[in-house]
Amino acid sequence: MHGAHDFLQALTVVLCVAALTTILFQRLHQPVVLGYLLAGIIVGPHVPIPLVADANIVQTLSELGVILLMFSLGLEFSFTKLVKVGASAGLTAVIQSSIVLWLGFITGRLLGWTTLESLFAGSAIAISSTTIIAKAFDEQKVGGRLRELVVGVLLVEDLIAIVLMAALTPIAGGTGLSAGVLAATAGRLFVFLFALIGIGLLVVPRATRAVNRLGSNETTLVASIGFCFATAWLASQFGYSVALGAFIAGSLVGESGEEKRVEHLVNPVRDMFAAIFFVSVGMLLDPRLVMEHWKAVAIFTAIVIVGKIIGVTLGAFLAGNGVQTSIRSGMALAQIGEFSFIIASLGLALHATRPFLYPIAVAVSAITTLTTPFLIRMSDGVASAVDRRLPRPLQTYAALYGSWWERSRKHDSGAPTRRLFLLLAADIALLCILIIGTSVYLIDLGTLIEKRVGASVIVARAAVLVAAAVLAVPLWIGIMRVVRRLSTLLAERAFPPAPPGAVDLGNAPRAAMVATVKILVLVLVGMPIVAVTQPFLPGYPAAIALSLLLLLLAITFWRSTTSLQGHVHAGAQALIGALARTTSATSTPAVDELIAGFGAPRTAIVAEGSAVIGRQLREINLRGRTGAMVLAIQRGEERILVPSAAEVLRAGDVVAIGGSEESVAAAEAVLSRP
C-alpha cells in the first residue's frame, strides 16, 4: 500500500504542476513543451521548492511516454510515405544530419569531452523536432510545398535517429568504438530489422484491419497499445532501445490504412504519458550544471541554428528546390527536441556520458524551441532578402535549376541510376571500413610487422599506412568515376546531346547541371564519410580533402553559371518571338526545344487591372514568390531581354516566363491576379 500511495502522490504532483505551467504557457502563446520542462524543474530535486516528485516513479512512467510517443511517430511515418517523399527530402536529411553530427562531435572534442560523449552530443543535435515543428506549422498555418518538404525531411530524420540509437546502444555498452563492434552492430541490426519488418508487414496490417472490423474502439486501443509494448519489449530483449521497437510497431500499424483511427484513439493516452516524459526531462535539468557549462550551451545552440539552416538549405537546393523554399525549410528545422532527450538520456543510462551532457541538450532544446516560431515567421523576409542579393548569374541559375531536375526525372528509366548509386555505396562502405580498420588496428598491425620482419616501430606503422593508402587509391578513383558518370547521366537525360554536326543548344545548362550534380553527390557521400570516420582519425584529413574537392568544383560551377547567363540572354531573343505566337496558357514542344534550359516556358499577358501594373519586378518578387524567372518582355515592338529588377510592368506586356511547370503556373497566376 505504501508503494501505491507513493505512486499516486508522484503522479498527482507531476500532473497538477504540469497542468498549471502548460495553461500559463498557452496563455503566453508559447510551446507547451516548455511548460512541461518548467514543471519538471519545479518538482525536481535541483531547486528549493517543497514540491518534489519521486524521480524513480516518474522515470518509469516517462518510459511509457517514450514508447507511446515513438509509436505515434511511427503511425505518421509508414514505409509507403517514405517512398512518396522521394529523393529530395532524403538527400536533404542525410546532408543536414551529417553536417550537424560532425560539427557536434568536433565541438565536443574541442571542449575536452571523451569520444563517446562527443559522439552522443553530435547525435543529439542532429535530429530536428517533429512535435515542435508540427505545432508551429499548425499555429502559423504553414502549408503547400514547404510543409511537404519539411515533413518529408522529418520522416527521414526520424529514421536516422532510430538507426543512431540502435547503433549507439551496443557501442556504448560494449567494448567501445572499434571496426569489429561497428560491423557486428550493423549486421545484427540489419537481421533484426529485416526479420521484424518482413514478418510484421505480412501479419500486422491484416491483424489491425481485422481488429478494426469488430467496431469496438476499446478493443482497437487495447490491441494497438498491447502490440506497441510487445514490440518495444522485443527490441529491448535484443539489446536495442524500446524507442526502436515502438517506432517500428507504429510504422507497421500505419501500413494497415487504419492509422488515422488508431492515432485518434491512442493520442489522449500518448499525450498524458508524453507530458510525464517531458516533465521527467525537466527534473533532470540541473540549473547549476547549465550555468556551469553555459559556454557549451551557447556554442551548441549556435551550431543547431546556424548548422541546420545551412545544412538544410544546401541539401534542399541541391535536391532541386528553389532558393526561397530551401531557406524557409532550413529556418523551420533549426531546433532539436524529443529525439535529443532520448539520445542524451540513453548516453546517461549507459554510463557513456557524464551528467552534464543531458542538461546541456535540454537547455539547447528549450532555447531553440523558443526561437523556432520567430525563425519561421522571419523566414519569408530572410529568404527574399538573400534571393535579391544573389549575384545575377546565380539568380538565373536558381530560377532554372528546378526545371532541369524535373526534365531529368521525366526521362529517368531508373535502372542505370540505381546501379551507379549501388556501386557508389559499395565503394564508400569499403573506404570507411579501410579507414576505420587502419586507425583501430594500426598499433596491432605495426607490432605484428615489427616482430615478423624486425623493422622499427616507426617503419612498421609507416608500412601499414602506405598499404592502406595503396588500397584506398582504387576506391577513391572508383568513387570519382561513378560521380562523374552519374552527373553526366542525369544531365544528359535533362539535355540530350545534339547529333554530330548540329548546334548543341543544351551545352551551357548541361555543363551547369553536371557541376551541380557533382557537388550534390560529393556532399551526399562525403559528409557521411567525414562523420563516420572522424571519431577514428586524428586531425581532420577527411574534412580537408572534401573541402578541397568542393572548392575545385565550386570554381567550375561558377564558370558554368556565368556561361549560362550568356546562354539565357542569347536564347531569350528567339524565345520571346516564338512564345508571343502561342497562347498564354500553352507551351508547345517546338517552343520547349527552341533552346534548352528554360524548363516549361510560357507567356502571360499583363491585363488591364492587374495588381502588378506600375510595379518594379523587384517589388513583385516573382522569382522569390514562385521560383520562376522573367526571361523577356514584349512591349509592342520593343523587346526587353532578361529584364533587370528595376523594370516596371505595364498593361499589355507579354511576359515570357521560364522554370518548372509548377513555378511557371504560379507566376502566371501572380501576373494575372487583379
Average pLDDT, the chain: 78
Q: Which segments of 390-494 does DSSP mark as H helices, in order?
A: 392-410, 415-453, 457-494
pLDDT band per the 50, 70, 90 thresholds, residue 190:
confident
Q: List, in sequence order, every residue forming a beta bridge with 602; answer none if it has no partner.
A: 657
* For range 319-342, the mean pLDDT: 83
Helices 55-77 and 217-237 pack at an angle, to 10 degrees, of 110
- pLDDT tier, 304 (very low <50, low <70, confident <90, very high otherwise): very high
Query: What pLDDT, on the 0 to 100 scale, is given for residue 302?
Result: 93
132-141, 349-358, 388-397, 409-418: lowest mean pLDDT where? Answer: 409-418
Give residue 306's pLDDT band: very low, low, confident or very high (50, 70, 90). very high
Res 582: pLDDT: 52
Distances (CA, A) of 148 to 89, 204, 309, 380, 627: 9, 28, 17, 17, 17
Q: Which residue has the higher pLDDT, 413 or 111?
A: 111
Residue 587's pLDDT is 45
pLDDT recorded at residue 501? 65
In angstroms, the CA 540 to CA 603 distance is 52
Parallel, antiparallel, or unpaired for β 629-635 and 602-605?
Answer: unpaired
Could you give the 3-state DSSP secondary structure of residue 601?
coil
Task: Indicate the range of 8-12, 343-347, 433-437 predicted with least confidence.
Answer: 433-437
pLDDT of residue 590: 47
Q: Which pLDDT does position 138 carry in this prediction?
A: 66
Domain spans in the chain, listed from the N-terminal domain onward: 2-389, 409-570, 600-672
Beta bridge partners of 638: 635
For 77-100, the pLDDT digits (tens) are 666 666 665 677 888 888 888 889
Q: Is the dihedral of CA 326, 328, 332, 335 positive or negative?
A: positive
pLDDT at 85: 59
Confidence (pLDDT) at 577: 61
Residue 178 predicted with pLDDT over 80: no
Assess whether pLDDT exceeds 90 at residue 599.
no
State mean pLDDT over 309-322.
85
Helices (H), 111-258: 115-125, 130-140, 144-173, 179-212, 217-237, 242-254
324-332 average pLDDT score: 87
| Residue 20 CA from chain centroid, whole number | 35
170 pLDDT more than 80: no
Checking 621-624 for CB contacts under 8 A at 24+ apart, the result is 621/384, 621/387, 621/388, 622/657, 622/667, 622/670, 622/671, 623/387, 623/395, 623/398, 623/399, 624/323, 624/324, 624/383, 624/384, 624/387, 624/388
Residue 656's nearest CA partner among 606, 613, 619 is 606
Q: How confident is residue 299, by pLDDT bands cut at 50, 70 and 90?
A: very high
Mean pLDDT lowest for which of 333-342, 348-357, 400-409? 400-409
How far is it, in rounded angstroms, from Cα 488 to Cα 474?
21
Residue 91's alpha-carbon distances to 207, 313, 327, 336, 415, in angstroms, are 34, 11, 15, 19, 19
Of residues 656 and 575, the one with the higher pLDDT is 656
| Model pLDDT for residues 662-672, shown as the tens digit of each residue | 777 777 777 77
Superfamily of domain 600-672 in CATH is Regulator of K+ conductance, C-terminal domain (3.30.70.1450)
Q: Check residue 185 and give its pLDDT.
A: 60
Tell me the CATH number for domain 2-389: 1.20.1530.20
The pLDDT of 33-41, averaged and rounded, is 82
User: Looking at the predicted structure, is the pLDDT value of residue 19 above 90?
Assistant: no
Task: Say what angle helices 415-453 and 179-212 make with each other, to 10 degrees.
Answer: 150
Q: Average the pLDDT over each of 242-246, 535-539, 650-654 and give the range with the smallest value.
A: 535-539
Which has more confidence, 537 or 75?
75
Predicted pLDDT at 441 = 72
**Whole-angstrom Cα distance, residue 261 to residue 607?**
49
Nearest-angstrom CA–CA distance, 44 and 278: 12
pLDDT bin (cut points 50, 70, 90) of residue 584 is very low
The whole-angstrom separation of Cα 25 and Cα 197 is 40
Q: Which three cell numbers stand for residue 616?
A: 518594379
List, for residues 401-434, the tens digit of each pLDDT value.
777 776 776 666 566 777 887 787 788 778 877 8
391 to 310, 326, 388: CA distances (angstroms): 18, 18, 8
Confidence at residue 3, expressed as pLDDT on a 0 to 100 scale: 65
**Torsions phi, psi of 582, nearest 5?**
-100, 170
Query: Region 239-265: what's the mean pLDDT?
Result: 80
Q: Specify whether the CB–CB gap between 333 and 312 falls below 8 A.
A: yes
**pLDDT above 50: residue 1:** no
Both ends of the chain: CA-CA distance in Å?
73
Q: Is pLDDT at 300 greater than 90 in this prediction? A: yes
What would the mean pLDDT of 316-326 be, rounded to a whole number?
82
Residue 63: band (very low, low, confident or very high) from pLDDT cuts 50, 70, 90: confident
Cβ–Cβ under 8 Å, residues 200 and 252: yes
Q: What distances in angstroms separate CA 319 from CA 50, 358, 662, one per listed residue?
A: 54, 34, 16
Question: Of the spans 111-120, 133-142, 342-351, which averages the highest pLDDT?
Answer: 111-120
Mean pLDDT within 278-299: 82
Q: Is the pLDDT of residue 200 over 80?
A: yes
Lowest mean per-residue pLDDT among 261-265, 294-298, 442-446: 442-446
Question: Residue range 519-543: average pLDDT?
Answer: 77
Q: Model's pTM, two decimal places?
A: 0.76
- Tell me the C-alpha distance between 255 and 257, whole Å: 6
